[in-house]
Amino acid sequence: MEFPPNLLPDEANPKWMNKGDNAWQLTAATLVGLQSVPGLIIIYGGMVKKKWAINSAFMAFYAFAVVLICWVGWGFRMSFGERLIDFWGKPAVALDQKYLLGQAFLGYFPTVTMVLFQFVFAAITPILIGGALLGRMNFIAWMMFVPLWHTFSYTIGAFSIWCPEGWLAKLGVIDFAGGFVIHLSSGVTGFTAAYWVGPRIDKDRERFPPNNILLMLAGAGLLWMGWTGFNGGAPYAASTVASLVALNTHVCAATSLLTWLLLDTTVFGKPSVIGAVQGMITGLVCITPGAGVVQCWAAILMGLISGSLPWYMLCDYNPASGRIVYK
């Protein structure tokens, strides 16, 4: 049997490469990239006060660019390269053509595809941290913080859990698509950074209206749809697992959103747009570490938990009025 000329192996199409897998990983990388630029840029620009909108959006835009340079300069190989110590790889560039065009350590596609796919995860993590610092942090300080945090925090988590040589990976820790490496690390960092930076001034804390709810919803939609690539690219193959992961992701997000809306409507008498976005995000975050290892019914259960527990934690009882209010 002879292959047609366009399917014959050559330097650009080596025998080990699966074109379908390679195409899907590039698509998934693009979807995740769109979550940051423009997804989170739009969300941040719409959810804060008008006076902070440009600075908040610019923080995300800058982080996406600077992380890419750090990533190809040293970050990728510190996260997925040769072992330096149990939780860190040796710093080295990921720019050499021979290195980039060889087979990736996972999957049937070239290393350059893995570099691009993992970059968008590395980029979105500090952008998520930025959400805790909107209206609090000077942009110059942010410019210094992002590359330092990427180098001395993100690479450690990625190597420890996602690299086959990492100490947590060897212990059997599973983080399917970034629940630990991305969401836990960005959440803890955001909480810590907000504590040290300090609260906003009193008048801003008392009233914090979003300047453009419609724009925020558009960004939330990009974030939600982009999660198809966020979780769906984690199997590193265009497979049945990728399809199941995508369905689990959206089922959990929808369940969480509806649960949050139901609680808002029951307790406060009306649904909330901001509450719907919060429920969507908590559902997406909840399903991420286990999207490929649970059945679809479990995704519904996870959505019920992620839509109710965070809602409860954000509420407080006001003894003066005898009513439940948001903190």
Looking at the predicted structure, is the pLDDT value of residue 205 above 80? Answer: no
Quick one: pLDDT band at residue 211, thresholds 50, 70, 90? Answer: confident
Mean of the per-residue pLDDT values of the chain: 91
For residue 77, the model assigns a pLDDT of: 97
Q: 7-11, 59-63, 98-102, 289-293: lowest mean pLDDT where?
A: 7-11
Distance of CA 38 to the CA centre of its chain: 14
Q: What is the DSSP letter of 82?
A: S
Digit-coded pLDDT (tens) for 159-204: 999 999 999 999 999 899 998 999 999 999 999 999 998 887 777 6
Looking at the predicted structure, is the pLDDT value of residue 5 above 90? Answer: no
For residue 319, the model assigns a pLDDT of: 66
Query: Which long-range CB contacts under 8 A does 167-174 form with residues at least 24 apart?
Result: 167/86, 167/87, 168/87, 174/289, 174/290, 174/293
Looking at the predicted structure, is the pLDDT value of residue 325 above 90? Answer: no
For residue 47, the model assigns a pLDDT of: 86
Quick one: pLDDT band at residue 292, thresholds 50, 70, 90? Answer: very high
Quick one: pLDDT band at residue 119, thresholds 50, 70, 90? Answer: very high
Q: State percent of the chain over pLDDT 90.
A: 77
Spatial CA neighbour of 262 closest among 283, 276, 277: 276
Mean pLDDT of 23-34: 97
User: What is the spatial distance between Cα 221 and Cα 146, in angstroms, rounded to a whole number?
Assistant: 26
How many C-beta atoms lie closer than 10 Å to residue 241's C-beta? Answer: 17
For residue 204, the model assigns a pLDDT of: 66
Quick one: pLDDT band at residue 322, thresholds 50, 70, 90? Answer: low
Pick the more confident residue, 321 or 304.
304
For residue 206, the model assigns a pLDDT of: 65
Looking at the predicted structure, is the pLDDT value of residue 316 above 80? Answer: no
Looking at the predicted structure, is the pLDDT value of residue 1 above 60? Answer: no
Q: Residue 147 contacts by C-beta under 8 Å, 6 or more apart in sequence?
A: 66, 67, 70
Burial track 67-103 (b if 16+ CB lie within 10 A, e otherwise) = bbebbbbbbbbbbbbeeeeebbbeeeebeeeebbeee
For residue 202, the model assigns a pLDDT of: 72
Q: 50-64, 68-82, 152-166, 190-204: lowest mean pLDDT where?
A: 190-204
Spatial CA neighbour of 44 closest among 211, 270, 187, 234: 211
SS3 annotation, 126-138 = HHHHHCCCCCCCC
Quick one: pLDDT band at residue 8, thresholds 50, 70, 90? Answer: low
For residue 193, the model assigns a pLDDT of: 93
